[in-house]
C-alpha cells in the first residue's frame, strides 16, 4: 500500500493509494474506538455501479450506517445538495464522534465535506474518491465548497479530513471522458512542479481506460498526491503557493462560464485549454522561452484535442475573466511559468489581457 501524509503543521492525515485501498477501510475505522456511526454520501450513478462494493466495506466496520444519494453532477453542488446531507445528519442523530464518508467524485466530496464541517461544528470526515480527478486533486487539501447563483465555489471552508482512500479498482468503470478530465489536472500538477512527470504524462496513449498499467497509474497518482500535499502543507489557506494550483484556471473557468452548459466542457477539459493560454501568456510576457512554450503546447494539444465553439465572442470571454476571484483592482493575479515544472504568480494588467485576447486565444484554435 502506498501512503502519502498530508501535513499542514497543526494536523496530519494519511492518503492511502492502492488497487484495493478500500479493503483497509474497515480496520482503519475500527481503530477509532470513539466512532459511533457512519453517514455515507454518494451520488445515484456511483451508488448504482459501486453500491455493493462500498456497502460490504461499511458493514465490516460493525457500525450502524445510512446513505444519502445526491443527483450526479454539478447540479448537486448547491444549497439543496448541502441541505439534503445536513438534514440526514440531523435525522440520523450524528454527532462529533460520527463519520461522514464521501464516496464519489469531486462534487460529492465538496458537498459532503462542507456538510461535515458545518453540522455539529464538525464531524469526522473521510474521502473515498471515485473519479481520477478526485483521486489526484479534489480529495486532497481540505477545500470544500458549493456554488452560488453568482459564481462557482463561492461558499465553502478549509478543513482537513481524517483520511483519504484512493482505490484505483473504483476507476475500472469510469468513462473515458472522465479519465481525460482527470488527466488534465495531472498535467496541471506536473507543469507547476515536476517536469519529469510532465514528460511521462505526455507519452500516455490516446485511449486511457484500460491502457495504463496499475504500477504506472499508482505511481503517477502518488506523485500527484505528493505534489498537492506539499503545496497544501506549505500554504493551507491559499495566501501564496497554493494559488499555483490555479494554473490554467483563469481562462479555464472563463471557458466553462462562457459555455454555460456543463456538458460543453468538463472542468478538466476547460482547464486543458486554459493551460495552453497560460503558457502563451507566460511566453508573451517574456518569462517562458520559445522552445519550452512550444514543447508544452505540443504535449497539451496532443492530449487534449478540444476546440472552442464556433462564433466565439471575445467580449463575452473577457467579461467572464474580469469576474475571476483573482482580480485585484485593474490587474489579475495570473499563474505563469518560467519553465515546465516551475510556476510563479504575478499581477498582470487586465487591459493587456483585453488588448491581446484574440491572439492569446488563437493558440487553441
Ligand X SMILES: NC(=O)c1ccc[n+]([C@@H]2O[C@H](COP(=O)([O-])OP(=O)(O)OC[C@H]3O[C@@H](n4cnc5c(N)ncnc54)[C@H](O)[C@@H]3O)[C@@H](O)[C@H]2O)c1
| Positions that interact with ligand X (CB under 6 A) | 43, 45-46, 49, 72-74, 77, 104-108, 110, 130-131, 133-134, 137-138, 141, 143-144, 153, 170-171, 173-174, 178, 181, 267
* C-alpha dist (Å) from residue 269 to 1, 25, 29, 58, 80: 31, 32, 36, 34, 27
Nearest approach in angstroms of CB 160 to ligand X is 12
C-alpha cell at 134: 478526485
Q: What is the DSSP letter of 182?
A: H
Nearest approach in angstroms of CB 26 to ligand X is 20
* Overall size of the chain counted in residues: 365
Q: Is 7 helix (H, G, I), strand (E, B) or coil?
A: strand
- Among residues 245, 337, 351, 364, the alpha carbon closest in space to that of 282 is found at 337
Pick 164 or 299: Cβ nearer ligand X: 164
Pick 99 or 141: Cβ nearer ligand X: 141
Nearest approach in angstroms of CB 324 to ligand X is 14
Instruction: Tell me the residue number closest to ligand X, measured at CB.
Output: 106
- Return all residues near 362 (Cβ < 8 A) that are at least 6 apart: none
* C-alpha dist (Å) from residue 147 to 79, 119, 168, 254: 8, 19, 28, 15
Nearest approach in angstroms of CB 348 to ligand X is 23
Pick 181 or 303: Cβ nearer ligand X: 181
Pick 153 or 264: Cβ nearer ligand X: 153
Pick 181 or 295: Cβ nearer ligand X: 181
Nearest approach in angstroms of CB 62 to ligand X is 26
Integer-rounded Cα Rg, in Å, for the chain is: 20
- Measured between alpha carbons, how far is 231 from 236 in angstroms, rounded to an integer? 8
- Among residues 87, 72, 76, 77, the alpha carbon closest in space to that of 39 is found at 87
Nearest approach in angstroms of CB 310 to ligand X is 26
Nearest approach in angstroms of CB 184 to ligand X is 10
- Measured between alpha carbons, how far is 190 from 198 in angstroms, rounded to an integer? 5
Instruction: Say if CB 321 and CB 365 are below 8 A apart.
Output: no
Pick 136 or 317: Cβ nearer ligand X: 136
Pick 174 or 363: Cβ nearer ligand X: 174
- Measured between alpha carbons, how far is 136 from 149 in angstroms, rounded to an integer? 28
Pick 29 or 166: Cβ nearer ligand X: 166
Instruction: Say if CB 98 and CB 124 are below 8 A apart.
Output: yes
φ, ψ of residue 14 in degrees (nearest 5): -90, 150
Nearest approach in angstroms of CB 178 to ligand X is 5
Amino acid at each position: 500500500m502506498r501512503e502519502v501524509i498530508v501535513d499542514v503543521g497543526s494536523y496530519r492525515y494519511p492518503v492511502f493509494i492502492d488497487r484495493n485501498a478500500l479493503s483497509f477501510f474497515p480496520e482503519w475505522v475500527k481503530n477509532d474506538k470513539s466512532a459511533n456511526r457512519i453517514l455515507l454520501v454518494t451520488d445515484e450513478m456511483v451508488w448504482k455501479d459501486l453500491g455493493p462494493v462500498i456497502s460490504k466495506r461499511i458493514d465490516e466496520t460493525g457500525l450502524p450506517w445510512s446513505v444519502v444519494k445526491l443527483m450526479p453532477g454539478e447540479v448537486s453542488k448547491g444549497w439543496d445538495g448541502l441541505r439534503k446531507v445536513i438534514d440526514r445528519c440531523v435525522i440520523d442523530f450524528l454527532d462529533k464522534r460520527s463519520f461522514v464518508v464521501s464516496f464519489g467524485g469531486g462534487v460529492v466530496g465538496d458537498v459532503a465535506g462542507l456538510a461535515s464541517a458545518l453540522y455539529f461544528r464538525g464531524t469526522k470526515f473521510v474521502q473515498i474518491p471515485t473519479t481520477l480527478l478526485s483521486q489526484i486533486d479534489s480529495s486532497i487539501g481540505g477545500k470544500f465548497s458549493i456554488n452560488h447563483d453568482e459564481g462557482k465555489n463561492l461558499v465553502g471552508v478549509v478543513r482537513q479530513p481524517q483520511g483519504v482512500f484512493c482505490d484505483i479498482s473504483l476507476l475500472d468503470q469510469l468513462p473515458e471522458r472522465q479519465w481525460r478530465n482527470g488527466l488534465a489536472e495531472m498535467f496541471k500538477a506536473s507543469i507547476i512542479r515536476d517536469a519529469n512527470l510532465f514528460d511521462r504524462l505526455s507519452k500516455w496513449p490516446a485511449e486511457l481506460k484500460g491502457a495504463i498499467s496499475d504500477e504506472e497509474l499508482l505511481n503517477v497518482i502518488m506523485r500527484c498526491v505528493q505534489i498537492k500535499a506539499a503545496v497544501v502543507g506549505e500554504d493551507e489557506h491559499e495566501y501564496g503557493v497554493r494559488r499555483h494550483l490555479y494554473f490554467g484556471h483563469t481562462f479555464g473557468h472563463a471557458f466553462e462560464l462562457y459555455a454555460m452548459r456543463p456538458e460543453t466542457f468538463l472542468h478538466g477539459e476547460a482547464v486543458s485549454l486554459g493551460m495552453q493560454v497560460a503558457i502563451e501568456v507566460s511566453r508573451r510576457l517574456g518569462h517562458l522561452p520559445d522552445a519550452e512554450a512550444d514543447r508544452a503546447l505540443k504535449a497539451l494539444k496532443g492530449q487534449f484535442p478540444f476546440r472552442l465553439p464556433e462564433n466565439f465572442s471575445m467580449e463575452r470571454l473577457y467579461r467572464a475573466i474580469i469576474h475571476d476571484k483573482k482580480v485585484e483592482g485593474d490587474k489579475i493575479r495570473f499563474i505563469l511559468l518560467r519553465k515546465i515544472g516551475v510556476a510563479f504568480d504575478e499581477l498582470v494588467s487586465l487591459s493587456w489581457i483585453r488588448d491581446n485576447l484574440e491572439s492569446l486565444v488563437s493558440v487553441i484554435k
